[in-house]
Structure 1
Amino acid sequence: MANKTIRAAVLGASGYTGADLIRLAALHPAIKLTALIAKGHAGQSLAQVFPHLASLDLPALVTADQVDWSAVDVAFGGLPHGTAHTEIAQLPERIRVIDMSADFRLRDPSLYAEWYGGEHSAPALLEDAVYGLTDHYRDAIKSARIVACPGCYPTAVLLALLPLAKAKLIALDDIIIDAKSGVSGAGRTVKQNLLFSEAGEGLSPYGIGNHRHVPEIEQELGLAAGAPVRINFTPHLAPMSRGELCTIYVRLAGKTTAADLRQALTGAYADAAFVHVVVEGAIPATQHVRGSNYCHIGVFADRIEGRAIVVSTIDNLVKGSAGQALQNFNVMYGFDETLSLEQLPLFP
């Protein structure tokens, strides 16, 4: 693959995830962005939609029916939930797909209908989809036709908990997740609660008791543990543009200690380029990973005997979306996972 050029299209190129994907992929030596698709902005240049990308020499935005799909090898999907499965189902079968929506994450189509309020229009494609949490599904991702990138919250949560659930170090019926994300996690569509005057200088929970990422987290934890898992998950909107932090409260299994959790996580990610278990006593923070593809995880003993606290933080648009999509691309095409993702976090 060293000298190969892979021609890529971006579906939903006018959204935040699409923009970050373009920003990262534009510097990838093997990617040629041949089509930028955004129905509502068709005919506009990339500079008109995203002035920060004005220096890139890329084609104007178009609709899907204007694309010469014979000149596309892989499609990155940045479409809203509920529309991605319809658009992706219409693509030629030879095109590989790396989707950043929720439409191919749930393995059971009935769960999709229950949590996303509508039937899945392409249930047969779910059989071809691989869950795209790179650090745990590399082998399956390599040969996948469709890779369903995890949601931002599930990425942060699962990176912290999958090794612990698999090793049965925590109780599977007593997991409490307090999650916070920047407003970009809600997308670029104008919404009243995302206005600066309403979201700024405040903190508010949403999706209490029934957030759509719950079944995705329970699905993957259950597969790792080999038993059903139930979680309490409450997300919060934080007054920042990007970033995500999850504080996870767990009950330890048997005589397990917080030190055992730390050891399990350190071992699981010993060779991971982007997942770092921070040194004991250090506290993960969103500003330590901002703009990067890194995930920082910390483990702390609770003052309540038999319990521990695990903290995980990512940039929701990079490791939580576009960065992980590009990491999956690298795995699929045999490149080093870090290619075009080497940038360090922005600080301050």
Structure 2
Amino acid sequence: MSKIKIAVVGASGYSGEELLRLLLRHDSCEISVITSRQNAGAKVGDFFPRFTGSKLVFSAPDTEEIAGKSDVVFLALPHGLAAEFAVPLLKKGLKVIDLSADFRLKDTVVYKKYYKEDHPAPALLKDAVYGLPERYRSEIKKAKLIACPGCYPTSIILPLSPLLENKLISPENIVVNSLSGVSGAGRKVDLAYIFPECNESMRAYAVTGHRHLPEIEQELGAAASCDIKINFVPHLIPVNRGINSTIVTNVTKDFSKEKLEAAYKKAYSNEKFVRVLGYGKQPDTKYVTMSNYCDIGFTFDEHTGKLIVNSCIDNLTKGASGQAIQCMNIIFGLDESAGLL
């Protein structure tokens, strides 16, 4: 079987680098195009020394070149810019896997509220499939446009959805505290993210109105079959990569430890990349970094009557590029773990 030809648009960012790391070891793929306006003409090994020896060279993004050399395109671009490439590439018949936020939200009014601009391609929203394989695998198989979930949302939707679907926790008064490594902010020069500011520092930010909030609420609402509002408090911590989310919920009258374990078993016992650690066990980011795993632990607090759920992912892998490749594997009928284990 001939290899799948891949284009990575925006290959010089952290998500782009992670895509290259994983795709270069994928036996069924051949990277044909990598783009970066600022680094056009440069060898990838000169920009990312880990790829020294690779023949790949950055080029300026050109939809005609990309379409002529690719079967599937990964868009590792900022929101707003990704749609500019998605529209013409889809018209040329390519599969598009978008790592930005452009196609995650179904409501254009909500998009404008949180991203402060009109949606760049509203006509495509009906065709976009939310790229969380554990929730939308059958839809992903047939999709032409994948909207890859955000990193924080992945760490929250995976542990909560089975519990909401089975009505074991209340959809009201959910509180999420998430800790993220600095790479989650992207590859940019910004005072808040330079070493002296981040080192020896842990701080909350965007404690109301974070851009991932409506995405989380949209998907939790779908699981619960009702509208949901949550408190979501992200934190920046001095590590390169990884997310740890601690979620506090109220249980329902139907809750029991046995039903909770059964709900997780039904949802994830056959999933390669979700590991339910069991009651009273807490996940640790150091066991998921550089991997596509999401680890989940949970404990019922007898003192307060609340359920505390914890999850850990690598924000660049399961929270971005690894999950994108997992979706690609599904679309092309490959082993879902190809290139990821």
- TM-score range (shorter-chain normalised) is over 0.9
Which region of structure 1 is more displaced relative to structure 2, 89-98 or 23-32? 89-98
State the match for 2:131 in structure 1.
132
CA–CA distance in 1 between the matches of 2:220 and 2:49?
A: 40
Aligned partner letter, 1:9: A
For 2:212, give the aligned amino acid.
H
Which secondary structure does the structure 2 equivalent of 1:91 belong to?
A: helix
After TM superposition, the structure 1 stretch with the greater mean CA deviation from structure 2, 299-308 or 210-219, is 299-308
The residue number in structure 2 matching 1:42 is 40
Matches within 5 A, 1:160-175: 160-175=159-174
The corresponding residue for 1:301 is 300
1:138–1:331 CA contact under 8 A, matched in 2: yes
TM-score, with length taken from structure 2 = 0.97
User: Post-superposition shift, 1:280?
Assistant: 3.0
Partner Cα separation in structure 1 for residue 205 and residue 258 of structure 2: 33
Q: Tell me how far 1:18 sits from its aligned partner.
A: 0.4
Which of 57, 60, 63 is equivalent to 1:62? 60
Contact between 2:167 and 2:254, CA under 8 Å: does it hold in 1? no
Q: Distance in 1 between matches of 2:314 and 2:261?
A: 22
Q: Please, which moves more after superposition, 218-227 or 89-98?
A: 89-98
1:304 shift after superposition? 3.1
Q: Are the aligned partners of 2:90 and 2:144 in contact in 1 as well (CA < 8 Å)?
A: no
Deviation at 1:173, TM superposition (A): 1.1
Query: Per-residue CA shift, 1:240-268, capped at 9, x if unaligned?
Result: 00000000000001141344323311221
SS of equivalent to 1:335: coil
Identify the residue that residue 82 of structure 1 maps to in structure 2: 80
Size of the aligned set, in residue pairs, is: 340
Report the alpha carbon displacement of residue 65 of structure 1 after superposing the two structures with TM: 5.3
Superposition map of 1:188-199 within 5 A? 188-199=187-198
Letter in 2 for 1:47: G
Structure 1: how far apart are the matches of 2:304 and 2:320?
36
Give 1:82 deviation, angstroms. Answer: 2.1
Q: Structure 1-normalised TM-score?
A: 0.95
Question: How far did residue 104 of structure 1 move?
Answer: 0.5
Residues 285-300 of structure 1 aligned to structure 2 (within 5 Å): 285-300=284-299
Contact 1:26 1:56 in 2 (8 A): no
Partners of 1:176 and 1:250 within 8 A in 2: yes
**Structure 1 position 316 matched with structure 2 position 332:** no
Tell me which residue corresponds to 1:184. 183
Q: What does residue range 324-339 of structure 1 map to in structure 2 within 5 Å?
A: 324-339=323-338
Task: For 2:173 and 2:282, locate their aligned partners in 1 and report how far apart those are by CA, in whole Å.
Answer: 23
Which residue in 1 is equivalent to 2:209?
Answer: 210
Separation in 1 of the partners of 2:210 and 2:275? 27
Partner of 2:110: 111
Alignment deviations for residues 161-191 of structure 1 (CA, whole Å, 9 cap, x no partner) = 1111111111111110000100000000111
Structure 1 consecutive aligned stretches of length 4 or more whose deviation exceeds 4 Å: none
Measure, in 1, the Cα distance between the counterparts of 2:250 and 2:141. 35
Alignment RMSD: 1.3
Q: Which of 5, 23, 27 is the matching residue for 1:25?
A: 23
Contact 1:82 1:116 (8 Å CA) reproduced = no
Q: Distance in 1 between matches of 2:182 and 2:257?
A: 32
Residue in 2 that maps onto 1:244: 243
Alignment of 1:247-266 (within 5 A): 247-266=246-265
- Quick check: 2:41–2:57 contact (8 Å CA) kept in 1? no
> Structure 1 residue 66: deviation in Å?
7.1
Give the Cα separation in 2 of the matches to 1:156 and 1:92: 29
When residues 225 and 30 of structure 1 are mapped into structure 2, their CA distance, relative to the original with a 3 A threshold, is same
Identity within the alignment, %: 43
Pick which of 183-192 and 88-97 moved more.
Answer: 88-97
Q: Equivalent residue of 1:176, what SS?
A: strand
Where does structure 1 lack aligned partners over 5 or more consecutive residues?
Answer: 343-348
Structure 1 distance, partners of 2:131, 2:305, is: 33
Quote how far apart the aligned CAs of 1:43 are.
1.5
* Residue 102 in structure 1 maps to residue 92 in structure 2: no
| Paired position in structure 2 for 1:53 | 51
Q: CA deviation at 1:51?
A: 1.0
The Cα of 1:68 is off from its aligned counterpart by 4.5
Question: 1:333 is aligned with what amino acid?
Answer: F
The alpha-carbon distance between structure 1 residues 151 and 68, as it changes in their structure 2 partners (threshold 3 A), is closer
Give 5+ residue unaligned stretches, structure 2: none
**How many Å separate the matches in 2 of 1:25 and 1:36?**
12
Q: 1:346 matched to which residue of 2?
A: none
Kept in 2: contact 1:77–1:98 (CA 8 A):
yes
CA distance in 2: counterparts of 1:260 and 1:245, whole angstroms? 24
